[in-house]
Amino acid sequence: EATLDLAERRRIRSAIRELQRQELERDEETLASKRFRPERSSHRQDNKENWPQSQHLEEEQQTALAALSEQLEAITSVEELTKLLRAAGEYEERKLIRAAIRKLRAEEIEAATLAGNVQSSR
């Protein structure tokens, strides 16, 4: 405000803008580091009393998912898998079923491709 030189005023304004930009970048970096900070096993600390019980439930869920995986290996129909998918409630179950459906469809496509190659070679 004290200077009358326009060039000096422009330099001052650009320096102020640069300082503001640097401050914004620092704030964004700080926010990003807080937002994506790895979890420090707070689940176990928050739930110390129920930890053995939650671990037991997690083990049960893992065994149930393993059994479901074996069951899905035996199913060869996409329609049957789709019915299971609609009935499934847990995310992990749906994830396994969708993977099984993708695998079956890939096998069907591969079989059709091989059949087409055999037909074209005759």
Question: What's the token pair of residue 36?
Answer: 């994506």
69 inside domain: yes
In which band, very low, low, confident or very high, does the pLDDT at 45 lie, cut at 50, 70 and 90?
low
- What pLDDT is stored for residue 13 in this prediction? 92
For residue 39, is it within any domain?
Answer: no
Q: Which pLDDT band holds residue 75 (cuts at 50, 70, 90)?
A: confident
Q: State how many domains the chain has.
A: 1
Say how far apart CA 98 and CA 87 lie, in whole Å.
13
pTM of the prediction?
A: 0.50
Asked if residue 35 belongs to a domain, the reply is: no
Determine the structural domain holding residue 88 and report its residue range.
Answer: 62-120
Averaged confidence pLDDT in the chain: 82
Per-residue pLDDT at 47: 57
Of how many residues is the chain composed? 122
- 73 phi/psi in degrees, rounded to 5: -60, -30
pLDDT band of residue 84 (cuts 50, 70, 90) is: confident
Give the pLDDT mean for 47-66. Answer: 77
Residues 107/98, Cβ–Cβ less than 8 Å: no
Question: CA-based angle 105:108:109, to the nearest 5?
Answer: 90
86-102 residue pLDDT tens: 988 888 888 888 988 99
Q: Considering the domain boundaries, does residue 45 fall inside one?
A: no
Domain for residue 17, yes or no? no
Sole residue written with tokens 């060039």: 7
Is residue 90, in this structure, part of any structural domain at all?
Answer: yes
Distance from C-alpha of 31 to C-alpha of 25, rounded to nearest angstrom: 10
Q: Evaluate if residue 25 carries a pLDDT over 80.
A: yes
